[in-house]
Amino acid sequence: MKKFVNDPKNYVAEMLEGVALANPGRLRYVPEYNLIMRTDAPREDKVSIVQGSGSGHEPAHVMAVGRGMLDAACPGDVFAAPPMDYVYETAKLLASPKGVLLLVNNYTGDRMAFDMGREMAEADGVTAEILTINDDVAVQDSTYTVGRRGVAGNFFVIKAVGAASEQGADMAEVLRIGRKVNDVTRTMGVALTACTPPAKGSPLFELGGDEIEFGVGIHGEPGRERRKIKDADAILDDMLEAVAGDLPYESGDRVALMINGLGGTPISELYILYRHAHRRLADRGITVGRSYVNEYCTSLDMAGASLTLVRLDDEIDGLLGAPAEVAARVF
């Protein structure tokens, strides 16, 4: 597998350094803790919003730092939770009178690191809370989780709590909003190929030329089942059935619809999936109020896509529509 890497050991550090160099005046890189933070964070009048998880899911989360989104991201190595002392130091650096909210995707390793980091920060007098994200409908328990995994839906939680905190909401309010968004968000992913971690140099698993992994996790871990590949619309139908049937999303609902690329799929294909999802939702009497077609939460170079739905109400819609600015941008 050919990759643009130097020493795989430095993969994360060199990426983070690049992110900071590309965003002078906006982002600061603290190499000791793998930390990317806003230069104007922490603010006394704002709950600090922090997310961390393994690297390899970019633009989540280091490229989601910016106004109206995250105040900081604290990633671990590729597909590995950050060490608990990175979480602890991050919480201390981001400490605010209004508190620090740590967003955690539901994986056992991440939860342990963040629970422990939070407890250590609290022992130092830092107010910190944890919000767990678990939007994946594919499997109840997985290789890495008790309960459902946190995947691309984390974007919507970040966007909503980021907007709320920017508007001055206190911790209780920010937590309420984060939980509310997580509760109405559902995601399912499909892989066409495996991904290749830079330190490993070979694919994490093997998919036959005519196979897809239905319900794949963002580390390439197994989903519901291996299936034979079909055409795009038929695969999308299966994904939509799994996602829409879970909450469930019903006729009369307004939703945000996200088609997220897993890292190795051209955007053109994402729009082919989007087109069919949009039409199928209309068939069900569901209106798409907000659309998202891009890479938001990837799995290195995996070819594949995930579909996320968020049931909108005026409050969530307003927060998703609030102004924001992040490192991952095209202008």
Partner 1 sequence: MIGNALPGAELVVRTIAETAIENEKYFGDLDAVVGDGDLGYSLARGFEKLLDGWDAIDRSDAGTFLKRAGMILASRIGGTSGPLWGTAFLRAGAAAGTAADLTGAQVVAMVRAAVEGIKARGQSDVGDKTLLDALVPLADRLEREFAAGAGPGDALRAAAVTTREAAEATSGMVAKRGRAAYTGERSRGSVDAGATAVAVIVERISETWQRQGATS
| Touching partner 1, residues 177-216 (CB under 8 A) | none
Is 276 designated active site? no
Contact status: 143 vs partner 1 (CB under 8 A): no
Q: By C-beta, is 29 or 88 nearer to partner 1?
A: 88
Q: Choose one: 68-76, 108-116, 170-178, 228-236; the region binding partner 1 (CB under 8 A).
A: 108-116
Return the ∠ at Cα 105 (arms to 249 and 234), rounded to 5°: 40
| Residue 109 contacts residue 82 (beta carbons within 8 Å) | no
Q: Report if residue 112 touches partner 1, rule: CB under 8 A.
A: yes
Q: Quote the distance between the C-alpha of residue 79 and its chain's center.
A: 13
> Interface with partner 1 includes 85 (CB under 8 A)?
yes
The rounded radius of gyration (Å) of the Cα atoms in the chain is 19
Specify the amino acid at residue 255: V
Does 88 interact with partner 1 (rule: CB under 8 A)? yes
Strand order of the sheet with strand 35-38?
27-30, 35-38, 72-73, 48-52, 100-105, 128-133
29 is an interface residue for partner 1 by CB under 8 A: no
Q: Which of 61, 219, 276, 278 is catalytic?
A: 219
Residue 229 near partner 1 by CB under 8 A:
no
Asked if 3 and 202 count as a contact pair (C-beta separation under 8 A), the reply is: no
95 touching partner 1, by CB under 8 A: no
Residues 6+ apart with CB under 8 A from 172: none
- Binding segment (CB under 8 A) for partner 1, from list 23-31, 35-43, 111-119, 279-287: 111-119
CA distance 286 to 26: 39
Read off the tokens for 264. 């190795």
Query: Smallest distance from the beta carbon of 81 to partner 1, in angstroms?
Result: 12
Among the residue ranges 12-20, 109-117, 231-239, 263-271, the one whose residues contact partner 1 (CB under 8 A): 109-117
Is 317 near partner 1 (CB under 8 A)? no
Q: Which stretch binds partner 1 (CB under 8 A): 81-89, 199-207, 263-271, 292-300?
A: 81-89
CA 279 to chain centre: 25
Closest distance of CB 113 from partner 1, Å: 8
Provide the greatest CA pair distance for the chain.
55
H or E stretch including 91? Answer: helix 84-93
Q: Which of 57, 61, 276, 278 is catalytic?
A: 57
Binding status of residue 172 toward partner 1 by CB under 8 A: no
Q: Is 221 exposed, middle or buried (0-12, 13-18, 19+ CB in 10 A)?
A: buried
Q: How many residues bind partner 1 (CB under 8 A)?
A: 10
Query: Are the C-beta atoms of residues 91 and 98 closer than 8 Å to each other?
Result: no
Alpha carbons 219 and 214: distance in angstroms, whole number:
14
Nearest approach, Cβ of 325 to partner 1 (angstroms)? Answer: 34
Element (H, E) at 21: helix 11-21
> Quick one: which H or E segment has residue 236?
helix 232-244
Lay out the site mask for partner 1 across 115-134 (x = CB under 8 A, - = otherwise).
Answer: xx--xx--x-----------
In the residue annotation, 278 being an active-site residue is answered as no
Instruction: Output 1 or 112, the one with its CB closest to partner 1.
Output: 112
Smallest gap from Cβ 130 to partner 1, in A, equals 13
Nearer to partner 1, 85 or 173 (CB): 85
At closest approach, how far in Å is the CB of 153 from partner 1?
Answer: 25
What does the block give as tokens for 158?
Answer: 């970040």
Residues in contact with partner 1 by the rule CB under 8 A: 83-85, 88, 112, 115-116, 119-120, 123
As annotated, the active-site residues are 57, 219
